[in-house]
Structure 1
């Protein structure tokens, strides 16, 4: 079988193949090597035949073109990071050691005191004294000193600070790239979202904000001057919308069982029990797993959309009628669209020309028996279309958008 380099069979791999010919071409069969005066004596008048070698300088002209783009991005990050503050003054070693030793005593007491305070507020009602505006006093972890940071604080060496900060920055950047910027009000008409990471001074004291920016540039991020001050540094990245798109309303209706087609109705006798159970199970499950981090920013809404049932959706599911599903879909879509169109333009992220997108989400419970493609067909009648800013997920919801523009003043 040919591998694309030989003529066929094994000509690209055996001793008589073309790769062998290239290997020999520079040693024995190269016409320029035969005319080389060092390889074979020739009369002086034949020297012009050796001149084709200087015409082989194509790589000499192209070589500077490849490294040329690389020097520009590399000097650029330090230039951008130079505008950010450098390392902060070191803390007292005695104070750092004292904090590390005492934290093993006051941290558990602090947590117990917070638990007692919450219990008191829960049973005392709303007549107690008001707490501070900031919630910083609730986060005991801010004053906790891990061993890696202890080492960096004591030595003050940049490599130790980088070893402490690098895994934290990596974790926060990955989380921000998956979660940040998905709110409808934060997305502009171009669908580009902005992910941001904000770090307190305790994470990068020995590196400075400039050092944080240099580390973030390894991930393609940049410093955000608007969110950086003496006590914090902010890095950000603009992320283009996903290229995946769904069908258009004019396409043929999606077949049942396909991602965009109708889905089978659930077990009818179980629907009333699901309706009652979700009123109890959903809050309990939410409270029991509130501390679990979810990589999906829409985990809770998608989780509910997969199995919950609305009172108005029971009849379409029971009958399985396409007309019932169509009426239910139109009623819910009209309700949500009216609510969305009533919002003020100032609540949206607008483009340079004043344009923005109204956005509506339709859950699976609204179109289960009609199909996600039917949502697009009904929405197109009033100017709504599939929102290109979000990756299509017809198994849980359909995101719709409608162009709008701020009226001229």
Structure 2
């Protein structure tokens, strides 16, 4: 009994702490498992979630840094729309067929209306859009456009609108050479062209702009206006050309800035009488051919300076008196400076004096008279004293 109790409490008895081993103990084994079996297929590695966070809150818009402009948002208003929806083939064919009936009737009605207005002395309709009912060509489908309307292919529309665009661009550039265009603050001028949507429906405004870029033109964003496309071209200010000043010695007669040779004193009386008949005839012909545009917008001024003479300019040109020419030039310049017949109207910033006004006095005399009113030679135009003198008042705002 004692032996059993002694064995329980002793060092080697039951329940005693086992003695330490003969070899030192280390941490858990972290090496490869020698009994592990190789996997026949590679195990996929977990990837981080790359989708949007459904619990993320939108950040408020941050203001642009100082000195930097915030980028403009892309919108339809600032671009050029593409092709418009095609018209129904049936409606196009009906319009093409019926136009040969209603177009002559329309023109005959317009001629009758103008005859009635001239006979009764009544005035026609007024307003910014009062002449829209005169444009018969707006409802006319030419044979060249018929194919483009029926097929709807962009290449057919390009073949149709290409010559129209080229012709209008050439007319606008000729108009710039003759003095047309909007003058900017740097004395450069901008000319523009616009096309109605019926001319480029299947090509789109973007296609028209692409064609215009071949000629050095660019598109003008028209906002939400889908009825037309606008094009423009900006020309820089012309180079400075030497011209006599108002206080310089008078230019010699026969030179560009000097007095021009007068017309025959024998023909002037006949011209004064006959122009009463042929000037109105030329004006009526110009109104009847309102759709014909001459490449020189000042064609009427050039023609009038050669074949017409004003009643007040007749005496100065018939006598050749320097004093008479001086009075005539001063009268015309005063009329241009005071468009309200001297009744307190604001003086315009730019005026133009034609050759018929200063023929016997010289273009330099116009500069001398205009300088008294604060006008100088306009730097936005190349001087052309053989046609006109363009004047500019620097202190007058637009």
- What is the TM-score of this pair, normalised by structure 1? 0.68
Q: 2:361 aligned to 357, 366, 370, which one?
A: 370
- Deviation for aligned residue 1:132: 11
| Secondary structure of 2:222 counterpart | helix
Aligned to 1:265: 262
Aligned to 1:209: 205
Aligned pair in 2 of structure 1 residues 185, 279: CA closer, same or farther (>3 Å)?
farther
Aligned pair in 2 of structure 1 residues 172, 227: CA closer, same or farther (>3 Å)?
farther
Contact 2:268 2:314 in 1 (8 A): yes
Aligned to 1:243: 239
Aligned pair in 2 of structure 1 residues 184, 380: CA closer, same or farther (>3 Å)?
farther
Aligned to 2:100: 104
Aligned pair in 2 of structure 1 residues 131, 120: CA closer, same or farther (>3 Å)?
farther
Residues 124-163 of structure 1 aligned to structure 2 (within 5 Å): 124-126=120-122, 133-163=129-159
Aligned to 2:250: 253
- Deviation for aligned residue 1:160: 0.7
Residues 9-408 of structure 1 aligned to structure 2 (within 5 Å): 83-126=79-122, 133-179=129-175, 186-226=182-222, 229-243=225-239, 245=241, 247-249=243-245, 251-290=248-287, 291=289, 292-339=292-339, 343-344=345-346, 358-406=349-397
For the residues of structure 1 that align with 2:371 and 2:123, how far apart are their CA atoms? Answer: 52
Aligned pair in 2 of structure 1 residues 295, 228: CA closer, same or farther (>3 Å)?
farther
| Secondary structure of 1:226 counterpart | coil
Gaps of 5+ in 2: 1-74
Aligned pair in 2 of structure 1 residues 397, 233: CA closer, same or farther (>3 Å)?
same
Deviates more, 1:360-369 or 1:211-220: 360-369
Contact 2:182 2:191 in 1 (8 A): no
Report the aligned-residue RMSD.
3.4
| Secondary structure of 1:268 counterpart | coil
- Deviation for aligned residue 1:376: 2.2
1:222-242, Cα deviation, whole Å (9 max, x unpaired): 111137612211111222343
Contact 1:302 1:396 in 2 (8 A): yes
Alignment coverage as a number of residue pairs: 318
For the residues of structure 1 that align with 2:386 and 2:126, how far apart are their CA atoms? Answer: 45
- Deviation for aligned residue 1:344: 4.4
For the residues of structure 1 that align with 2:164 and 2:183, how far apart are their CA atoms? Answer: 27
- Deviation for aligned residue 1:180: 6.3
Contact 2:260 2:359 in 1 (8 A): yes
Q: Which structure's residues are more often helix, by fraction?
A: 1
Deviates more, 1:142-151 or 1:122-131: 122-131
Aligned to 2:32: none
| Secondary structure of 1:178 counterpart | helix
Aligned pair in 2 of structure 1 residues 175, 397: CA closer, same or farther (>3 Å)?
same
- What is the TM-score of this pair, normalised by structure 2? 0.70
- Deviation for aligned residue 1:243: 3.1
